Amino acid sequence: MSAASINSVDHAHPLDGLLYDQTNLEALCAERPLDWEEYAHMNEFHGNASVLKRHAGLPQDEPLPFAVEHAIPYDLDEAYEYDVNCGLPAFLAVHEKSARLYQSRGLDWVPVTGFTYHYAIDLFEQLHPGEAAPRPRCGTIVFPDKSTLLMETDFDRAAFASRLSALPREYQPVVVCIYWRDFLRGQHEPFLSAGLPVVSCGHLRDPDFMLRLHDLCRRFRYSCANDLAGSFALSILSGCHFFHLRTQGLVQRKGGVTMEMDHDLTMDKPDKSACILASPFPPKDREEQRRLACELSGSAFKRSREELRQIHGKAREMLSGSIAAGQIVFDGSIEDRANLHRLLPKGVDFDGWARSFCKLHIANTREIGTILLRFEFMPASEDCQVLTIRVDQEEYLEISVSRSLHDAFVMIPEGSGACQIDITSNREHTLPGEKRTRAFRISCLELLERETCTIAEPRTMWPANEKQPSPGV
């Protein structure tokens, strides 16, 4: 970005003093592996999980025990199947209408908490107390219609850039906020060619995404888009006066199917139509769009830090307290995914592949006395792979891998009420045909009842291809 473009108006440019390096497009938009750490993967979208944890003072290194509504639910008429089937008993809904929708799908508990962005604004003020005071606003921040993780979106960006450049002086300077996916596709170039500065909030999995967005929006008087997405409500919550500039002609490609249309047909639905009607150009009264932004983002349902911690505690108890004796086979089924989550795992994927450090939590040790773990390893190399198993931080078993499959019995101590099992490996591998780097796979896990299972040598390791003693010995 040139100095001339930054100083194109008389007063300070809104990009002066950015707190999150939003002009460093190469670094912010660099591709990242979709190496999910949350039980509900969409909790990681745009920093949802990170914001909630930091705001409420929850453990940063533990996945959330509930799913979070990951976007503003405009005109939502059916629940996302992924949210329903992610194997968690609780779902945090943005507003009551959305909550009723998810409750109708049989989720055990659906508290209404408002959209995560409300907590991101509070977190921003916690992190930057000296920056929280209003500053003189000027110019327009623009959010072009964007591609997503699974869909490419295109329209005449050059024509849109030309129209933005020609906006009256009151709306200048104009700055374009490009989505990570479109930066990687080179779709920021038409805006740069038109002399418009380009910024970004970062990758889909960037934990600071919402903080960057608020840091940008709090500097501008206006916000603008040619579609109707989260940028409408969120920029208004950050104090912008939003206006809509429709573009003609849209191409979307998803799953090998290309669709060409005059405009995004979802903008004709009631919620989005109301937002567009409240956002004319030139901008007029802003009260109606503020009302819509608050309603659609669930402003009235925002919870305190203490309430969020209570919700977290109840959801965690619901999850771990429902564990029972039985076998989990990591075949990707919804039932086994739910059973795995009841062990509050860290570092274990749905298919059983684990990182070099992972852990499991046994909540009801009065009933569960033994865990049978079947480990699967990559083909042996010259370096010996060693697994160390700890129970409540005490070393329990060390395994030197010489076969592709090993079984291990781990006895659970009595009297503690709960215990933690940590498994550490000395090396990881890149999985064939994937970008994931993992150490080993738990192909099967069986929880055995305490009263029916005793093992003579609990520290002994029995290779899977050798005769093993019966659990009832």
Domain with residue 418: its CATH number is 2.60.120
- Report how far apart the first and last C-alpha atoms of the chain are (Å, whole number): 73
Per-residue model confidence (pLDDT) at position 147: 97
Closest C-alpha to 117, from 215, 188, 199, 27: 215
Instruction: Answer yes or no: do 88 and 192 share one domain.
Output: yes
The bridge status of strand 405-411 relative to strand 461-463 is: antiparallel
Instruction: Answer yes or no: do 279 and 397 share one domain.
Output: no
Instruction: Answer yes or no: do 428 and 374 share one domain.
Output: yes
Instruction: Answer yes or no: do 48 and 160 share one domain.
Output: yes
Q: At what angle do helices 116-127 and 230-237 cross, to 10 degrees?
A: 40
Q: Tell me the residue range of the domain where 442 lies.
A: 325-463
Global model pTM greater than 0.85: yes
Instruction: Answer yes or no: do 287 and 256 share one domain.
Output: yes
Structure tokens at 153: 């979106």
Query: Is there a contact between 412 and 362 (Cβ–Cβ < 8 Å)?
Result: yes
Task: Kindly state whether residue 25 falls inside one of the protein's structural domains.
Answer: yes
CA–chain centroid gap for 434, Å, is: 21
Residue 460 to residues 382, 398, 422, 468: CA-CA distances in angstroms? 25, 10, 17, 10
Task: Kindly state whether residue 473 falls inside one of the protein's structural domains.
Answer: no
Task: Kindly state whether residue 470 falls inside one of the protein's structural domains.
Answer: no
Mark which of 271, 288, 320 sits at the end of a domain. Answer: 320
Closest C-alpha to 170, from 14, 9, 4: 9
Burial class (CB in 10 A: 0-12, 13-18, 19+), 304: exposed
Mark which of 303, 320, 337 sits at the end of a domain. Answer: 320
Instruction: Answer yes or no: do 368 and 264 share one domain.
Output: no
Close Cβ partners of 343 (under 8 Å, ≥ 6 residues apart): 320, 323, 360, 361, 362, 445
Task: Kindly state whether residue 77 falls inside one of the protein's structural domains.
Answer: yes
Per-residue model confidence (pLDDT) at position 133: 65
Instruction: Answer yes or no: do 316 and 387 share one domain.
Output: no
Domain count of the fold of the chain: 2
Query: Is there a contact between 341 and 88 (Cβ–Cβ < 8 Å)?
Result: yes
Task: Kindly state whether residue 456 falls inside one of the protein's structural domains.
Answer: yes
Instruction: Answer yes or no: do 213 and 65 share one domain.
Output: yes
Q: How many CB atoms lie within 10 A of CB 101?
A: 18
Mark which of 277, 304, 320 sits at the end of a domain. Answer: 320
Query: Is there a contact between 157 and 179 (Cβ–Cβ < 8 Å)?
Result: no
Instruction: Answer yes or no: do 312 and 384 share one domain.
Output: no
Instruction: Answer yes or no: do 248 and 281 share one domain.
Output: yes
Q: What is the 3-state secondary structure (H, E, C) of 410-460?
A: EECCCCCCCEEEEEEECCCEECCCCCCEECEEEEEEEEEECCCCCCCCCCC
Task: Kindly state whether residue 239 falls inside one of the protein's structural domains.
Answer: yes
User: pLDDT per position in the chain (473 positions), as tens?
Assistant: 433 344 444 568 999 999 999 999 999 999 988 889 999 999 999 999 999 999 999 999 999 999 999 999 999 999 999 999 999 999 999 999 999 999 999 998 999 999 999 999 999 999 999 886 667 999 999 999 999 999 999 999 999 999 999 999 999 999 999 999 999 999 999 999 999 999 999 999 999 999 999 999 999 999 999 999 999 999 999 999 999 999 999 999 999 999 999 999 999 999 999 999 999 999 998 999 999 999 999 999 999 999 999 999 999 999 988 788 888 888 778 888 888 999 999 999 988 999 999 999 988 778 888 899 999 888 765 567 899 999 999 999 888 876 677 888 888 887 667 889 999 999 888 888 888 899 999 989 999 888 765 544 444 343 333 333 333 32
What is the rounded CA–CA span in Å between residue 179 and residue 208?
14
What is the rounded CA–CA span in Å between residue 270 and residue 418?
50
What is the rounded CA–CA span in Å between residue 365 and residue 388?
21
Task: Kindly state whether residue 468 falls inside one of the protein's structural domains.
Answer: no
Task: Kindly state whether residue 41 falls inside one of the protein's structural domains.
Answer: yes
Query: Is there a contact between 112 and 301 (Cβ–Cβ < 8 Å)?
Result: yes
Query: Is there a contact between 209 and 231 (Cβ–Cβ < 8 Å)?
Result: no
List alpha helices for 282-393, DSSP H.
Answer: 287-296, 305-320, 334-341
Instruction: Answer yes or no: do 219 and 358 share one domain.
Output: no
Instruction: Answer yes or no: do 139 and 234 share one domain.
Output: yes
pLDDT single digits (tens) 279-300: 999 999 899 999 999 999 999 9
Per-residue model confidence (pLDDT) at position 333: 83
